[in-house]
Structure 1
Amino acid sequence: MGKLEEIVGKRCNGCSRPLDGLPSNLVKEALCLDCHRWEQDSDWKGILDHNHSFFHYNDFMKDYLARYKYRGDYALAQAFSHTIKLYLAKRKYDIIIPIPLNDERLYERGFNQSTALLEKAEVRPSNILTRSHSEKQSKKTRSERLCQEQVFQLTENVVKEKAILLFDDIYTTGTTLRQAAKLIKEAGAAEVSSLTLARG
């Protein structure tokens, strides 16, 4: 059935996309074309400093996360605890914030998969972001994701002049993370980067 594939080799400085084997016209200044486009947009330039992903979003990871998120197999969160803990021990940040689910999605699943992954890694997340209702990201086209309105709110502002690390399970287009990062930057954070299990 396959296995987890770690991302190794040269990767995009912005989103962790593997660059080895990509045609040179898809890489600009150590960034993949997607990240380069984000940085060319004055509304998004410098919003998300960097994303680090551990694994490729291959079929094995898709199945794993589906069992974890949609079938409530909470125990699967334990599998990544060591990887997350090791990485965070080397990172400097002030606050780690999991990307939240909206209330309806949280009720459906019974838990926030990102919060649970951090808790299993013995990391105390700061749940100061909330999310208004929107259609599932997985149901949206790329262009719909890129055009959506701000869906996040901060419940308290403790981010001023702080280094913030966002945490989510998958980096796909980067829209969700950048929306959260933009809100946090506008609230005065010094820098915002992100950590994700997989790079889609």
Structure 2
Amino acid sequence: MATCLWCQAVVKVPVTLRILLRWQVIVPPKLCTTCAQRLQPLHAPQCPQCGRQQATATVCPDCARWADEWHNQAIFPYDEAIKAYMQQYKFQGDYRLRLVMQPYLRRALAQIEYDVLVPIPITATTWQTRGFNQVTGWLTDQPFQSVLTVPPARKPRPQSSKTRRERLAMPQPFELVPQAATVLANRRVLLLDDVYTTGRTIRHAAAQIYLGGAKAVTSLTLAR
């Protein structure tokens, strides 16, 4: 009997005559129909720089204040469903839920041109308490490079506990690992993070990646 990874409801596995005749392996869905329908991807129009879903395809006020040409793509709006998902997966540590988003990330990555995929790292303290990086948990068959690190001495507060003003004022939290330049030099780098909120974290990461010699840096986030 299969159960939904998200709500643990019983999931009905469709079995057709065609599947039986072809001796196909029956793979139960990860989510029940109700939970699957909660996930509604972003749609146009969006801000061309950060991916925010809005009424027009113009640069949003947040990006206008940044006054740069950053480009972020996102998969979902940061709505109540994604907030509930992140609460259970990231903050309650339900590692099984990584499987829910893996297909969405796989499809999104297949549509982006890049040379090196760099996930945003977590602190050593978070590793000790949570036990996993929520971003790398989504990556199964996609190669990535962990060239960014958060030095223990900095120990930044979790972004989720900060106000918008505190996020924007956050000092540089990242450093490049030794030999990062051998991976990044003259390459197109795609940063991967969970949620784009103010864009401060992504831009801090990009600044370090450029110091490593990258030719171009863009980003993909699960939600915006």
Q: Distance in 1 between matches of 2:214 and 2:64?
A: 23
Distance 1:172 1:126 in 2: 23
Normalising by structure 1, report the TM-score: 0.86
Per-residue CA distance 1:93-143 (angstroms, 9 max, x = gap): 111011000110111100000011113xx2122111101310111111111
Q: Does 1:92 align with 2:127?
A: no
1:65 to 77, 86, 97: 86
Counterpart in the other structure of 2:98: 77
What is aligned with 2:162?
140
The answer to whether the 8 Å contact 1:5/1:58 transfers is no
List aligned pairs for 1:1-200, cutoff 5 A.
Answer: 3-20=38-55, 30-39=58-67, 45-46=68-69, 49-119=70-140, 122-132=141-151, 133-155=155-177, 156-157=180-181, 158-199=183-224
Structure 2's unaligned 5+ residue stretches are: 1-34
Partner of 2:13: none
* TM-score when normalising by structure 2: 0.77
CA contact (8 A) 2:193 2:220 kept: yes
Asked whether the equivalents of residues 4 and 58 of structure 1 are also in contact (C-alpha less than 8 Å), the reply is no
Gapped runs of 5+ residues in structure 1?
Answer: 40-44
Q: Is residue 75–residue 108 contact of structure 2 (8 Å, CA) maintained in 1?
A: no
In the TM superposition, what is the alpha-carbon distance from 1:74 to its structure 2 partner?
A: 0.9
C-alpha distance in 1 between matches for 2:81 and 2:110:
27
Moved segments of 4+, more than 4 Å: none
* Separation in structure 2 between the aligned mates of residue 138 and residue 70 of structure 1, nearest angstrom: 10
Cα distance in 1, alignment partners of residues 143 and 208 from structure 2: 21
CA contact (8 A) 2:102 2:139 kept: yes
- Give the SS at the match of 2:139: helix
Letter in 2 for 1:190: K
Alpha-carbon contact 1:4-1:56 (below 8 Å) kept: no
Who wins on radius of gyration, i.e. which is larger? 2
- The count of aligned residue pairs is 183
* Amino acid in the other structure paired with 2:95: Y
For the residue of structure 1 that corresponds to 2:50, the secondary structure is coil
Which one has the bigger strand percentage?
Answer: 1
Choose between structure 1 and 2 for higher RCO, CA contacts under 8 A separated by at least 6 residues. 1
Q: What's the CA shift for 1:188? A: 1.8
